[in-house]
Structure 1
Amino acid sequence: MAEAIALIDYGAGNLHSVHNALRAAGAGHVHVTADPDIVRGARRIVLPGVGSFKACAHGLKAIPGLVAALEERVIGAGVPFLGICVGMQLLATRGREHGVTKGLGWIAGEVRPIERSDPVIKVPHMGWNDVRPMPRANGARLIEPGEAYFLHSFHFAVADGHDVAAMTDHGGGLVAAVARDNMLGVQFHPEKSQAYGLGLLARFLEWKP
């Protein structure tokens, strides 16, 4: 029987595209859900995110029992987890977009504005850019070198370099992916990254941390 995957719907994700990409990568049962009971039965969890850190954090926490169910499965049971874009940023201790907002605190660090030291550098960071794996990082085997599609104005400043799985360059280094234990987060959008993104999702679907 195919594993049940919970694609979290909290009103802040590109759900249709992510759902289609997961299916194209080989996923069987993908439940688009905000139901804590379904999350508790999931064998893999995907948390997308589009918009501001503050809005996404508040939206996620506003659903009764959802954060507790996520922590039970991801932190307690160790099921494979993938955060996408702001879904990755929510792993942080806090975000500094529209004030200071607490994140999930699963990976220490904070989400800060991309600093533009050169007027040639555009913010938001939008379009195709390189993804450079960090060979000694946690979960680095999931990330391959290549190019992916980014769209963000804030970046995850990670406290422990061992949690940085990949970097990209946009007027300086920016974290492209984080990983710890059974958790993977990517700043780029695999659902918009064509073959590169589908390859990442396929590896996630086979991942046994």
Structure 2
Amino acid sequence: MAKTSMRMSAEERRESVIRASMIEFAERGYNGTSTQAIATRVGVSQPYLFRLFPNKRALFEAAVRRCMEDVMEAFLTAADGLEGEAARDAMGMAYFDLIADRSRLLMQMQMYVSTAAAEAAGDSEVGEAVRELWTELWDTVAAAAGMTEQEALDFFARGMLINALVAMGFPPEHRLWRGLEADAS
């Protein structure tokens, strides 16, 4: 019987590096994450990592892109065939499911913190990439759900509040969740 190969393709390996990077950056931020830690998590050498990504910034940007794509895909899938409030409610529920994976939520938080830190250190490219992805998410989701500008603002503002409450560990019964209960029901 022939032995089947368990080797990953370059694209599969690249994907596993991006997923591992999301976890490492989520836990430690851009400055606190070493490329060696990412390589170790994936089970590749650091030189191999740099064949896939030219530098740490490119790796961070790929992780940010994947995080934003995951959010956008969850929103679009949830809103498929719906409009208005029904679409917004479905996307809100999908978001709660998505951030049940704490590393996904922490990756989003690290996007904001790491962008500010990079720009404070004189590196504006990370911020430009993150802002471009955020704008793409906003525009795509607002268009898919047929949101007005104010509805999009309200939707994303609620999402940011949810991020903060979940990140700080507020239990669902805490009074600060009141008013958001409609999103979770």
What TM-score do the two structures reach when normalised by structure 1?
Answer: 0.26
Q: Which has the higher helix share?
A: 2
Q: TM-score normalized by structure 2? A: 0.28
More relative contact order, 1 or 2 (CA 8 Å, 6+ apart): 2
